[in-house]
């Protein structure tokens, strides 16, 4: 969808501007925070998802539960990294390289966030038009392709979804075949 691609480009542009303004140290620690929070959130998001089980449909509780977990972990890590960030920021002389590195790190951080959002919308489709827009967006598809390590970190989330979607029919099929087999060979002594 064209409007999603324009929105992605605008978000990346403004993240570049913000990164140029804030510099490399702050954006570097923000990126480190996100990279630590992704696999941890993928491991522990089921707790808030269970609490949110009153929401209609399992997709809503999983989708919102993941983002609550990610936000909570990000806040804790930002607090934990506050003092080290201030120390490093005082020692690094600010200049053009400092600003350009901050811009690049912020664009990467924002792109990873958009990839997480796109992957979760595909894994837990909550609104039909949003899923179609994310799937049809060439910009988001490009980001997901080139930042494929994010999908590997989210593999637990996606694997749990795939297991729920694919194993239930498979188990039904296997149990149906087992009962047919038991009925067929029951009197033969097997």
* Nearest Cα to Cα of residue 106 among 5, 8, 23: 23
Whole-prediction pTM value? 0.76
CB 85 within 8 A of CB 26: yes
- Could you report the per-residue pLDDT of 2-26, keeping only the tens digit for each? 888 999 999 999 999 999 999 899 9
Three-state helix/strand/coil letters over 61-124: HHHHHHHHHHHHHHHHHHHHCHHHHHHHHHHCCCCHHHHHHHHHHHHHHHHHHHHHHHHHHHHC
**Which pLDDT tens digit goes with each residue over 130-185?**
888 888 899 999 998 899 888 877 775 556 544 444 344 434 433 433 344 344 44
């Amino acid at each position: 969808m064209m409007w999603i691609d324009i929105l992605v480009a605008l978000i990346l542009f403004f993240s570049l501007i913000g990164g140029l303004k804030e510099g490399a140290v702050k954006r570097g620690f923000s990126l480190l925070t996100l990279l630590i929070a992704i696999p941890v959130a993928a491991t522990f998001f089921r707790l808030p998802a269970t609490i949110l089980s009153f929401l209609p449909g399992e997709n809503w509780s999983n989708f919102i539960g993941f983002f609550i977990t990610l936000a909570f972990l990000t806040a804790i890590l930002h607090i934990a990294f506050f003092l080290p960030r201030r120390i490093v920021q005082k020692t690094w002389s600010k200049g053009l390289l400092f600003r350009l590195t901050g811009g690049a790190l912020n664009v990467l951080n924002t792109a990873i966030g958009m990839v997480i959002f796109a992957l979760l919308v595909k894994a837990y489709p909550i609104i039909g038009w949003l899923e179609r827009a994310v799937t049809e967006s060439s910009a988001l598809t490009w980001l997901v392709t080139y930042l494929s390590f994010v999908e590997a970190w989210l593999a637990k989330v996606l694997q749990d979804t795939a297991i729920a979607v694919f194993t239930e029919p498979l188990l039904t099929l296997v149990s149906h075949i087992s009962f047919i087999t038991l009925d067929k060979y029951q009197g033969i002594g097997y």
